[in-house]
């Protein structure tokens, strides 16, 4: 194919008497064009296979890293074959690559740092595409939409895109709530001091209600205890975990629990406390 293309270009130049164009230049142009065509077709094939694997249910992160490894390998092979065809030995190319690597390392330390950090993200897998992540060290929270060689793209919950250098993830802690097995419900209920004699029964009823709720994971810790004398209320702690980790479903389950707690309190003719003060006025004799 290369020879045919080169001969075609050579014949075309001879027809137009373009004697100033050398055979080496013709070969270079022919090989470059063919290499670009082959590379483009191969990349299109890899992209189609990547999308096909993702549609089948494969992990998007794994599919993308495999695709990028194939693309990088093809580029390296083409460069090596290109150089060898024009008389540069493999050892010479490797030596040139070593010198070039040193120069790039000196000139682009941050670029290399981000590149290798990106590779570590692929292998360590602290998060995948689609995961909800956050960092207590930085103002970072949102959904991972892309993990690149140099940067990771995260979209916040108010739909703002964040482009974070991969090297940053090696120096900060990252939480991955998307890998939670349960979500927690934790709250305090404040009852009036005049309902002190009803606290024990209310606590028992709330605990029973949680154990019977189909949305609550009874295999996890369930705690319902009277735990504090506040300024204007007697506080009951409620602590449990839902089976779902989906935020909207968790909110629905939490709301259902809160409404049932209100019903339990009302059924005992008790009520919730609100901040209040008692004033004692001394009468003058």
Q: What is the CATH number of the domain that holds 171?
A: 2.30.30.60
The answer, yes or no, to whether residue 107 has pLDDT greater than 60, is no
CATH number at residue 259: 3.30.70.100
What is the rounded average pLDDT for all residues in the chain?
A: 81
**239 DSSP β-pair partners:** 186, 223
In sign, the C-alpha dihedral spanning 162, 167, 173, 178 is: positive
Q: Which of 31-40, 107-116, 136-145 has the lowest mean pLDDT?
A: 107-116
Question: pLDDT tens digit string along 221-232?
Answer: 999 999 999 989
Residue 282 lies in a domain: no
Q: What's the rounded Cα separation, in Å, for the pair 207 and 201?
A: 10
Q: Would you state the pLDDT for residue 2? A: 47
Residue 272 belongs to a domain = no
Residue 93: pLDDT band with limits 50, 70, 90: low
Q: How far apart are CA 188 and CA 170, in angstroms?
A: 38
What global pTM score does this model have? 0.60
Are 55 and 87 in a shared domain? Answer: yes
284, part of any domain: no
The verdict on 190 and 169 lying in the same domain is no
Q: What is the CATH number of the domain that holds 41?
A: 1.10.287
Positions of E strands within the chain: 132-135, 140-147, 151-155, 161-165, 183-191, 223-229, 234-242
How many structural domains is the chain composed of? Answer: 3
Residue 113 domain-assigned (yes or no):
no
Give pLDDT tens digits for 239-248.
999 999 988 9
**One domain, residues 174 and 184:** no
| Residue that finishes a domain, picked among 178, 198, 219 | 178
Task: Name the pairing type of β-strands 161-165 and 223-229.
Answer: unpaired
Residue-wise pLDDT for 178-219, tens only, equals: 888 999 999 999 999 999 999 999 999 999 999 999 999 999
Are 49 and 72 members of one domain? yes
Q: Domain containing 141: what range?
A: 126-178
Residue 118 forms part of a structural domain:
no
Query: Exposed (0-12), middle (13-18) or buried (19+): which is 90, by Cβ within 10 Å?
Result: exposed
């Amino acid at each position: 194919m290369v020879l045919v293309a080169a001969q075609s270009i050579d014949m075309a130049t001879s027809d137009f008497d373009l004697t100033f164009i050398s055979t080496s230049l013709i070969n270079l142009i022919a090989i470059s064009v063919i290499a670009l065509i082959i590379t483009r077709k191969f990349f299109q094939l890899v992209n189609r296979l990547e999308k096909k694997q993702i549609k089948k249910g494969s992990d998007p992160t794994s599919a993308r890293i495999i695709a990028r490894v194939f693309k990088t390998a093809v580029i390296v092979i083409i460069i090596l074959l290109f150089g060898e065809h024009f008389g540069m030995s493999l050892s010479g190319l490797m030596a040139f690559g070593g010198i070039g690597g040193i120069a790039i390392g000196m000139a682009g330390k941050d670029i290399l740092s981000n590149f290798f950090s990106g590779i570590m993200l692929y292998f360590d897998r602290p998060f995948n595409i689609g995961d909800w992540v956050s960092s207590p060290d930085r103002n970072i929270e949102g959904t991972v939409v892309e993990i690149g060689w140099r940067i990771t793209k995260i979209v916040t919950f108010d739909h703002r895109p964040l482009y974070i250098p991969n090297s940053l993830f090696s120096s900060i802690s990252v939480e991955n709530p998307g890998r939670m097995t349960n979500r927690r419900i934790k709250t305090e209920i404040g009852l009036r001091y005049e309902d002190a004699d009803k606290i024990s029964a209310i606590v028992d009823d709330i605990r029973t209600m949680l154990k019977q709720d189909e949305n609550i994971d009874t295999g996890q810790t369930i705690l319902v205890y009277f735990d504090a004398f506040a300024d204007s209320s007697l506080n009951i702690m409620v602590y449990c975990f839902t089976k779902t980790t989906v935020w909207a479903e968790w909110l629905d389950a939490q709301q259902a629990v809160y409404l049932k707690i209100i019903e339990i309190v009302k059924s005992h003719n008790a009520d919730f406390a609100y901040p209040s003060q008692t004033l004692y006025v001394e009468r003058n004799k």
